[in-house]
Amino acid sequence: MTDTEARTAREEWGSRFGFLMAMLGAMVGAGNIWRMPFTTGENGGGAFLVAYILLLFLIAVPGLMAETMIGRYTSNGVIGAFKQVFQTKRAQGLGLVVLVVNVALMSYYSPIIGWALYYAGNSVLFTFTQPGFQPQAFWDGFIANPGLVVGMHTLTMAGIAGVLVFGIRRGIERVVKWMIPLLVVALVAVAVRGVTLPGGMEGVAFVFTPKWEFLTRGSTWVAALSQALFSTGLGWGIALTYGSYLGRYDDVPLGGGLFTAIGNTSIGLLAVFATFPVVFAFGLEPSAGSNLLFISLAKVFPELPGGGLWALVFFVSFFFATFTSGLGITEVGVTTVSEETQFDRTKSVLAVCGVIWLFGLPSAYSTSFLGQMDFIFGSFGLPLATLSIIALVAWKFGPERARIIDLNRNAGIYIGSWWNPVVKYVIPAVMLFIIGYGVVISIGTENQTLMLLGVAVMAALTVVSTVVMSVVGNAPEKISDTGVSVSGGD
Amino acid sequence: MALPTVTWISMAIAIVALPGVASVALVKSLRSEERKLSLLKKQDKVDSYSPRALAELRDWVEAHPNDPYAPVARERYNECVETLREVEEPYYDWSPEEIDQLDRLD
């Protein structure tokens, strides 16, 4: 086979189950396990869930449909999709923005996967049930040991490269098909154990008892919006990239939209059941975030009968959740680099994973730097990436075209015209609101400088990416035989 | 600890709206793939649009004949019509009368 032939034969998912598990695995991450339980409890419990579920169906589900659809339609990674739809070299800069944001995100997410790997490894060795085990000292000793944290970051990226090098079907799909079902089974098992603990039901009551007055608070809706958008990975380029490997007879709205968004949140709900009963049964501080996992839970699992085993089940499943997200985030770069350069898949994997590893060293070394990266890219980079992708579908391709020509093709559920205004107006408005809200609440706080830096970095990234792609971007192919450029969204 | 009724209701709604809907979507999606594969094995082709979606596609092409995406849309429409005429068992809920009334778009 010639090189040209090899590069034109695009891989496809081997099975529907594989695609769905890959989408779910990519979207379920650390945020589902440690953020959703606390956010729910802190914002009115059942009242927050009402707001969250509403916004999930209203925004995340249609948004993920749009992103997956444009991936399947263009059969391209992020830069290629912008190239094909916008038909200009300059607009490919928005694709580069999405790519850079993903690489930056993965550079600080990889060390977190490394933490999960370290704890999963130690749970396998039953370290947490050793006599005299001190969880706080164990965590402090780990995080203060540069060799160990950098080593875990290195192992993580090596593991991700080791999976991605085998491609979509033999790499990602083969791994997620057993990791995600195991994650679900493990969380169900821990949840059952948690709610049957003395005092465990208090945790359930804390999370699910609706405090309706919270629905009148703006902060509840902002928290629900952030959780609905960020925990589903909408607009990060992952759904676009994974969607680009769908076959011609595959459905988008049912699997890529509804199942991915709702399935992802279902795992968040399972995490609520898995962590909060334990938190309340042992009188822990529910707002402890990552500390809740790595210090508090490491302390209480061994106190349960058969605790070493419960710790193993929990930490290994947490590692699975983070690792499969790492695969999705990194694949965005791998697909794009292999399409836009002369690199084959192996070289693309090595290049992307190498760059992420290098840029991830400061975050691995310093949790303070990691926090700053998270603030800048989480608060401003991800909304910018989401806006870019939604602009691609809603404002250039056009929602009516998208829905009629492609979204409802081979679809498992019919999507009506209600989808058009949601994608075209509601999602961009929400993203702009979240960026604006992030700016406003940072003014006058210790985060103000970081916020200004974040806004400046994103503005510079957009300008530089546009200029770079104007110069080095590949010329787009014509949309149709007419050679007419698309005039804009409908 | 006995939970208040409102907590049970809230929990039940969350379980139905999240894992409940996700499970139904998963099963429906996997069954749909199974059926498509079985039809592809039997007749080598599967219709791509439901009656409602194909009617919308036709209306859109007729309303936007000079749209840059019209050739793609027309090609997809005609391909679906041809497939419906050739296959014994459509994937979507098409009646023989509906299929008979379909024309290619030129």
CA pair distance A80, A65, nearest whole angstrom: 19
Q: Could you report the per-residue pLDDT of A247-258, keeping only the tens digit for each? A: 989 999 999 999
| Chain centre distance of CA A85 | 24
Residue A404, in any domain of the structure: yes
> Given this model, what pLDDT does residue B22 score?
96
Tens digits of residue pLDDT in A66-88: 999 999 999 999 999 999 999 88
Question: For residue B43, what pLDDT is reported?
Answer: 93
User: How many helices and strands in chain B, by DSSP H and E?
Assistant: 5, 0
B52 in contact with A, Cβ within 8 Å = yes
pLDDT tens digit string along A19-63? 999 999 999 988 888 778 778 877 888 888 888 888 888 889 999
pLDDT for the residue numbered A478: 65
Say how far apart CA B16 and CA B12 lie, in whole Å.
6
Average per-residue pLDDT for chain B: 94
Which A residues 20-39 touch B at CB under 8 Å?
20
How far apart (Å, rounded) are the C-alpha atoms in residues A488 and B36?
35
Assigned domain for A42 exists? yes
Q: Which residues of A touch B70 (CB under 8 A)?
A: 480
Q: Per-residue DSSP letters for A136-172?
A: HHHHHHHHT-HHHHHHHHHHHHHHHHHHHTTTIIIII
What percent of chain A has pLDDT above 90?
58
Could you tell me which chain A residue has the CA closest to the CA of B76? A405
Distance CA A218, CA A91 (A): 36
Per residue in B50-98, pLDDT (tens digit) is 999 999 999 999 999 999 999 999 999 999 999 999 999 999 999 999 9
- Residue A44 belongs to a domain with what CATH number? 1.20.1740.10
| Residue closest to A362 by CA, chosen among A41, A137, A19, A110 | A110
Q: Per the CB < 8 Å rule, is B28 touching A262?
A: no
A window 131-160, beta carbon within 8 A of B: none
**In-domain check, residue A200:** yes
Which of B21, B28, B71 has its CB closest to that of A482? B71
Q: Is the pLDDT of residue A1 over 60?
A: no
Whether B90 contacts B84, CB under 8 Å: yes
pLDDT band at A482 (very low <50, low <70, confident <90, very high): very low
Q: Are A119 and A294 in contact (CB under 8 A)?
A: yes
pLDDT-derived band at A272 (thresholds 50, 70, 90) equals: confident
A482 vs B contacts (CB less than 8 Å): 68, 71
Confidence of residue A357 (pLDDT cuts 50, 70, 90): very high
3-state class (DSSP) for residue A91: coil
For residue A227, CA distances in Å to A38, A353, A373, B64 come to 11, 28, 19, 39
Does residue B46 sit at the A interface (CB-CB below 8 Å)? yes
Q: How far, in Å, CA of B71 to CA of B73, rounded?
A: 5
For residue A15, what is the DSSP state?
A: -
pLDDT digits (tens, 9 = 90+) for A415-458: 999 999 999 999 999 888 888 888 888 888 888 898 899 899 99
The CB-side HSE value for A345 (13 A sphere, CA atoms) comes to 19
pLDDT at site A293: 75
Structure tokens at B76: 């997809």
* Number of domain units in chain A: 1
Give the pLDDT of residue A398: 95
A4 domain residue, yes or no? no
Please tell me which of the candidates B52, B60, B71 has its beta carbon nearest to residue A480: B71
Amino acid A243: pLDDT: 97
- Whole-angstrom distance, CA of residue B75 vs CA of residue B79: 6
Please give the structure tokens belonging to residue A246: 């769908």
Domain annotation covers residue A490: no
- Tell me, yes or no, whether A484 lies in a domain: no
For chain A, the average pLDDT equals 89
CB contact under 8 A, B18 and A479: no
Contact A53 B18 (CB under 8 A): yes
- The pLDDT score that the predictor gives to residue A8 is 54
Calculate how close chain A gets to B86, using CA atoms only, in Å: 17
Whether A381 is covered by a domain: the verdict is yes
A452 near A98, Cβ under 8 Å? no
pLDDT given at position A200: 86
Domain coverage including residue A412: 12-472
- Close Cβ partners of A416 (under 8 Å, ≥ 6 residues apart): none
Instruction: Supply A363's token pair.
Output: 């975050």
Domain presence at residue A24: yes
Q: Which helix (H) or strand (E) holds A477?
A: none
